[in-house]
Amino acid sequence: MPSPSNRPPESVLSKSFLLWIVCGGVFLVLMFLLGRTDSDATSLTRIYVLSGAVVLAILFGFRNTKSSARVILSILLLGLVARLFMFGQPSKFDDDFYRYMWDGAVTANGYNPYAIRPAEVLRGGALPQDAAFQALAAKAMPTLTRVNHPELTTIYPPVAQGVFALSYFIAPFSPVGLRVVFLLIEVVAVALLLLMLRTLGRPLSWVAVYWWCPLVIKEVYFGLHMDVLPATLALASIGAAVWRFRITAIVLLALAVGAKLWPVVLAPIVIRYAVTSWRSLFSGVALFALLTLIISFPLLASWGDASHSGASAYAKQWMNNAGFFGVLQWASNQLYQASLNTFFDGYFDPAQMPRRIVACIVLLFLAVMSVVKIPDSAAVIRYAMWAVAVVFLISPTQFPWYFVWVMPFLALTAGSWSALAILLYVALLPLYHLHQTSPWLLWLEHLPVWLGLAIGLLVWLKRDLVMPIFQETPFHLPQGTRVAVIIPALNEERAIGPVIDEIPKWVSQVIVADNNSNDATVSVAEAHGATVVVEPHRGYGAACLRGISVLGDSAVVVFLDGDFSDHPNEMGRLVGPIVRGEADMVIGSRVLGKAEPGALTPQQRFGNALACALIRLLYGQRFSDLGPFRAIRASSLRQLQMDDRDFGWTVQMQVRAARQGLISIEVPVSYRKRIGVSKISGTVRGVFLAGKKILLTVFAEGLRKVHPSDSHA
């Protein structure tokens, strides 16, 4: 239990709770409208897209806020109410559930759903002739006439058939039975998410990413799609692996494959992380293979009749709403046309080539997951998210309800850039309902997600491959060189001590420039050996200027935030290039470095990118960040004649350095979640004021005349 000193202030929790309630009210209104929009596809799509966009904005804004128990209870209650809105609503735009109800009736009454085609029942063909089946068929006629692809046998594996049968026992041939079963399954999913978030040390409020997702609610309860079943079983398997329940994890994964086949991609992750030796690895593979074969055998056996097998037809022919696969299909058709009347004529099968490529990608991914190092539970969750996301992203059928597979894993990884990019589908996939009439909407669905993933990939390549920083050589400060550190601080009593303690011992002077704090920041800083000066006028730049006023004869000055978000032990990366004569100023880039999930908010990333782009456009200097952790030669600092007294301090320093010809470079630094609440990114007002001042400073500095004496010799 957290001590009182580590617990967020009650006012902060109360404010957070009220904001969650207000946003929850907006969420409920949107879900109410969504549940009652059944007039036409256009109206449905409008409210569906709006709901996804608004809820995503809410979740992005709140994903790093403190969450009390009553916030979590409110999230759970509001999500439950939203689902109950859907219980009495008809499903006008979906028809898969008629197959579920028919399969459930057949299975519950002891017949084989893989041997009975609805079309045969409707025609009165070769079917079981006993009176019980005839009575069942007569009762099912209103359902049978609406089953899609009635000429094919069912595609749903045996575990799914068991759930359909359970819904039949609850309410025969009624959507209510399905909704009740799906709600029970989701309750299990949410309980697992909360337990796993606690295990990973991540905010419990991230459960809202799943529980408040309009796409999940609409597709599960309005569209009545069963994809919550394999998603929950796959999540349970990953959870069991994280908690080291080896046999349980493997059994649950086999059951997940028995609900739908896609969870098989998780097998290398689950089996490898859950085992402890080569012997247990082989036994785990054998157990999983045996259980999967036994559970899925009835479905696999139905593939023999290719003309009537639903599973066979799905695997070989079905394609809908596909992004990546659609591009493969287009390229395959172009190759086929180009190969006609050439040596390669007859070598290309345009229908099957994309499926073979996708199969090879999946096999390659399985091979990589079989050998890649899985160091901890966080890696298990991350790899599991990517495994399921890859299956969805390259699938020939990217229905909105298939995205339910990925949602539990995105809720566990909501702080990562890749998860945020993929979550864009929550607002974009609803366009599926209109893309048949407007084909360009298909690309609007998929391109933003792929663009986001591409940006994340480029950043990762630059950070981890082009600029490998995590194999550093020890830094040694040349003898006689003095380094001073200035730490502007405002109400940082909990963080300032750890910040000072982590500063390298070779630093000569540590100055804490207190910005008129009303807590114990001053006394804590003094107790930890820092020189403290007080700047009574609030402002980040004002505090920095006050610290500069008491500098000694140091050759290098380092600026560092007092909230423990920076890593002072990485100071050698910034000071080194200056003392070696390679640079006049060194910026610690959080973008190029490793930022802890959730440490940099989306608004921070966007603001930094915009400001840096403007600096490059107007002043020709390339930066990736406006990070506060930076080092500068003392003589260069004096030359800049800094005078900004608030949010424009960092950008003013970088622009003036560019205009005066200083040699400025960036080095990657690590970044973690701060201690306490941010004075800027932690409030809407702070974000707005900081963004406004930063952009004004970028432009205003261009109007400032640079005197010849200011230029770098």
pLDDT (tens digit per residue) in 50-106: 888 888 888 777 666 667 788 899 999 999 999 998 887 767 778 899 999 999 999
Collect all residues with Cβ–Cβ distance below 8 Å to 315 and sequence separation of at least 6.
355
pLDDT of 276 over the 60 cut: yes
pLDDT in tens, 315-346: 667 788 888 998 998 888 888 787 766 665 56
Judge contact between 48 and 400, C-beta under 8 A.
no
The two tokens of residue 572 are 């050698």
Q: What is the pLDDT of residue 31?
A: 85
Q: Which amino acid is residue 35, in one-letter code? A: G
Q: Sheet harboring 664-668: ordered strands across?
A: 531-534, 509-514, 483-489, 556-559, 630-633, 585-589, 664-668
Whole-angstrom Cα distance, residue 88 to residue 174? 11
SS (H, E, C) 555-600: CEEEECCCCCCCCHHHHHHHHHHHHCCCCCEEEEECCCCCECCCCC
324, containing H or E segment? helix 324-339
More confident residue, 13 or 321: 321
Instruction: Average the pLDDT over each of 137-141, 379-383, 419-423, 475-479 and give the range with the smallest value.
Output: 475-479
Q: Which residue in 633, 618, 612 sits closest to 713, CA to CA?
A: 633
Q: How far is CA 401 from CA 212, 334, 691, in A?
A: 15, 31, 38
- CA torsion sign for 466, 469, 475, 477 is positive
Percent of the chain at pLDDT exceeding 90: 47
pLDDT of 227 over the 50 cut: yes
Judge contact between 178 and 97, C-beta under 8 A.
yes
User: What is the second-level CATH architecture of the domain 483-710?
Assistant: Alpha-Beta Complex (3.90)
pLDDT of 434 over the 90 cut: no
Q: Which amino acid is residue 478, in one-letter code? A: P
Q: What is the pLDDT of residue 511?
A: 97
- pLDDT class of 682 with cuts at 50, 70, 90: very low
Burial class (CB in 10 A: 0-12, 13-18, 19+), 218: buried
Q: What is the mean pLDDT of residues 495-524?
A: 94
Whole-angstrom Cα distance, residue 43 to residue 99? 26
Whole-angstrom Cα distance, residue 3 to residue 666? 39
pLDDT of 676 over the 90 cut: no
Q: What is the pLDDT of residue 170?
A: 96
Instruction: Average the pLDDT over each of 433-447, 514-528, 693-707 and give the range with the smallest value.
Output: 693-707
The answer, as to whether pTM is greater than 0.85, is no
The two tokens of residue 458 are 């480029």
pLDDT of 399 over the 80 cut: yes
Q: What is the dihedral of CA 13, 14, 20, 22, to 10 degrees?
A: -160
Percent of the chain at pLDDT exceeding 70: 87
Q: Which amino acid is residue 232, in one-letter code? A: T
Q: How far is CA 111 from CA 31, 61, 133, 256, in A?
A: 39, 51, 9, 23
pLDDT in tens, 549-569: 999 899 999 999 999 999 999
Instruction: Average the pLDDT over each of 184-198, 253-267, 443-457 and give the range with the smallest value.
Output: 443-457
Q: What is the pLDDT of residue 64?
A: 61
What's the mean pLDDT when you consider all of the chain? Answer: 85
Judge contact between 631 and 558, C-beta under 8 A.
yes
pLDDT of 311 over the 70 cut: no
Q: What is the mean pLDDT of residues 154-161?
A: 93
Q: What is the pLDDT of residue 253?
A: 96
- pLDDT class of 281 with cuts at 50, 70, 90: confident
- pLDDT class of 45 with cuts at 50, 70, 90: confident
pLDDT of 703 over the 80 cut: no
More confident residue, 473 or 411: 411
The two tokens of residue 52 are 């996804």
Q: What is the mean pLDDT of residues 221-239?
A: 95
Q: Where in the chain is the domain with CATH 3.90.550.10?
A: 483-710
The two tokens of residue 340 are 């006609």
Instruction: Average the pLDDT over each of 342-356, 449-463, 543-557 and give the range with the smallest value.
Output: 342-356
User: Helices (DSSP H) in 435-477: which residue ranges?
Assistant: 441-461
Q: Which residue in 650, 652, 656, 640 sits closest to 680, CA to CA?
A: 650
pLDDT in tens, 581-609: 889 999 999 988 888 877 887 778 888 88
Q: What is the mean pLDDT of residues 622-644?
A: 94
The two tokens of residue 636 are 């260069």
pLDDT of 7 over the 60 cut: no
